[in-house]
Structure 1
Amino acid sequence: MARAITLIRSTSLSDIAEYAYAATAPAESRLIFLAGACPLNDDGSTAAIGDYAGQAVKAVENMQAALAASGASLQDVISTRVLVASVRRKDLVAAWEVVRDAFADHDVPSTLMGVTVLGYEDQLVEIEAVAAVLDSGDR
């Protein structure tokens, strides 16, 4: 399947970032706005309590399920926002490394943010995403 996403890099910006600085999707693409993917198990309990990387893994799994239900995959994501309930950079990095590795070469523009609290009991990580797909629109 043809991909709608074009990742944009700039030689005038630092190459230290582990992601593209911008991305585009053509006008005929169907945009998919995902709710924040949370580290929740099927029974509604929070996964990997106290473990930033473990919660990031579960949030990525849940994001992939939401994408699949929308006819998309990680390769169709155009941007992400990774929210981590911590003021410690190492906690943010632990979550980020999981997200970065899940996306592999499809290094979409991303924002990594430390926040004070997230919505579920013991929740440490949440991942927001927007995806774009080219399809017939027959849904």
Structure 2
Amino acid sequence: MTDRLTRLNPDSLHSTPGYHHITVVEAGRTAHLAGQCPLDSAGDLVGPGDVLAQTDRVVANTLTALAAVGARPEDVVRTVIYVVSDDRQVLSSVWQRLNALPLAPAFSTASTLLGVAQLGYPGQLVELDVTAALSD
């Protein structure tokens, strides 16, 4: 699938910490994952109060969802990361953790990291929104 993806950083835009400003997809099929939350298979919150433990669970859930449609991290064309924090250190720690885990290739694409006031589940600190290009 990666031969159908082109990632670009125009010279006139600022340099990035690993992601690309633009991802072009030549494929016709995409998978749009629901926001992946730090919940286990029983629906219980994992890692209350621990943003990195929650990040780990979000990654595990995202890998499971991608595998269910035959996609890999390299097939991801867009990510949006939501973190309940306005502290740049916390946001950075989540970004670094994401890039140290098996989902890391997904974050070389068009990615956005946002600090937000609240997410959907009580105690939830992280959520990941992913779009992947699928093979025909």
Fold in common (TM above 0.5):
yes
Q: 1:106 to 1:128 in 2, by over 3 A?
A: closer
Percent identical among aligned pairs is 35
Closer, same or farther: CA 16–5 of 1 in aligned 2, 3 Å: closer
Q: How far did residue 54 of structure 1 move?
A: 1.4
* 2:109 alignment counterpart: 108
Could you tell me which residue of structure 2 aligns to residue 44 of structure 1?
43
After superposition, give the CA deviation of every residue in 1:36-60 in whole Å (9 maximum; x if it has no partner).
0111112211111111111111101
Cross-structure match for 2:28:
29
Give the TM-score taking structure 1 as reference length.
0.87
**Unaligned runs of at least 5 residues, structure 2:** none
- Which residue matches 1:56? 55
Q: Distance in 1 between matches of 2:35 and 2:125?
A: 12
What is the Cα-based RMSD across aligned positions, in Å?
1.8
Establish whether residue 123 from structure 1 lines up as the match of residue 93 from structure 2: no
Letter in 2 for 1:116: A
Tell me which amino acid in the other structure corresponds to 2:124.
Q
Gaps of 5+ in 1: none
The worse-fitting range, judged by mean Cα deviation, of 103-112 and 49-58 is 103-112
1:119-139 superposed Cα distances (whole Å, 9 cap, x missing partner): 11210000001110222xxxx
Q: Distance in 2 between matches of 1:117 and 1:105?
A: 24
- Residue 17 (structure 1) shift: 3.1
Number of residue pairs aligned between Structure 1 and Structure 2:
134
